[in-house]
Amino acid sequence: MKIDILSLFPEFVEAFFNQSMIKRALEAGLMEMAVTNPRDFTKSRHRQADDTIYGGGAGMLMMCQPLFDACHHVLPEKGKRDRVIFLSPAGETFTQDKAKELYRDYDHLVLICGHYEGVDHRVEEHLADELISIGDYVLTGGELGAMVISDAVARMVPGVLGDAGSAATDSFYEPILEYPQYTKPYDYNGWKVPDVLLSGHHANIARWRRKEALRRTLHHRPDLFGKLILSGEDKKLMAEIREEEKEE
């Protein structure tokens, strides 16, 4: 997997490349990530990458030419397993399912970060394959969104997490929250770790974890719970949960 990020603020993105999980993955050659500054492709001697808005309006808009040229530099010949993504509030909301799709269907992602008042619409119309939003709120630029997508996709690359099972047990890998987890001390202010986790009985521990994951999802994210396909065992666990909560 290769990820290229187009950003006017490469130092911001480079700091992300140097954090623990991503840094180890890059050093081990498990994946490639790079940041490219569209200013390096501007035709202005002042390296101008933005300009005033046609028709009037406050602020400045990123020009399309530097972004097109920067994208063509990192992706000279586009194939079926290459994907150009523009970070935009108009895009599809990013989810774990989308992260899995990007990892499964593509080998090279190019993430375009907007800034200032936005980007010339021709980038959205003629350069990007799709638009993605990380949520319904306003940020200064697309860099944070690009890092969110990169991190979520990187976690699925074999070897990046070190533990092959870690990604599959994360919250949202399926539409269920992760089960509660504990570490030392066993007793803190009278709040004790559930005894089953100290039992050494792996089947009982696995059953408890699934049950508590179902319980957490039901209470904290009923929207996710509604999407979950319950197995026969899950239905038994849910019956136990309802009976327990009826007695409280």
Residue 116's pLDDT is 79
Of the candidates 155, 212, 215, 216, the residue annotated as catalytic is 155
Q: Rounded to whole angstroms, how far apart are CA atoms 237 and 248?
A: 17
**Closest CA relative to residue 94, chosen from 221, 114, 86, 35:** 86
Q: Tokens for 207?
A: 């059953």
Determine the length of the chain: 248
Known active-site residue 117: yes
Omega before residue 158 within 30° of 0, cis:
no
Known active-site residue 170: yes
Of the candidates 82, 117, 151, 178, the residue annotated as catalytic is 117
Known active-site residue 97: no
Of the candidates 14, 24, 69, 89, the residue annotated as catalytic is 89
Domains and CATH numbers, the chain: 2-154 (3.40.1280.10), 174-247 (1.10.1270.20)
Strand locations in the chain, DSSP E?
2-6, 32-36, 50-51, 61-62, 82-93, 108-112, 130-133, 187-188, 191-192
Dihedral sign from CA coordinates of 95, 22, 116, 62: negative
Q: How far is CA 12 from the centre of its chain?
A: 17
Of the candidates 170, 178, 234, 240, the residue annotated as catalytic is 170
Residue 164's pLDDT is 46
- pLDDT (tens, 9 = 90+) of the chain, 248 residues, equals 999 999 999 999 999 999 889 999 999 999 999 999 999 999 988 889 999 999 988 889 999 999 999 999 999 999 999 999 999 988 999 999 999 999 999 999 999 999 878 899 999 999 999 999 999 988 889 999 999 999 999 999 999 986 544 555 554 557 899 899 999 999 999 999 999 999 999 999 999 999 999 999 999 999 989 999 999 999 999 999 999 999 87
Residue 173's pLDDT is 58
Cα distance between the two ends of the chain:
50
**pTM, to two decimals:** 0.83
DSSP alpha helix (H) spans, 119-191 = 121-126, 143-154, 166-169
Residue 165's pLDDT is 45
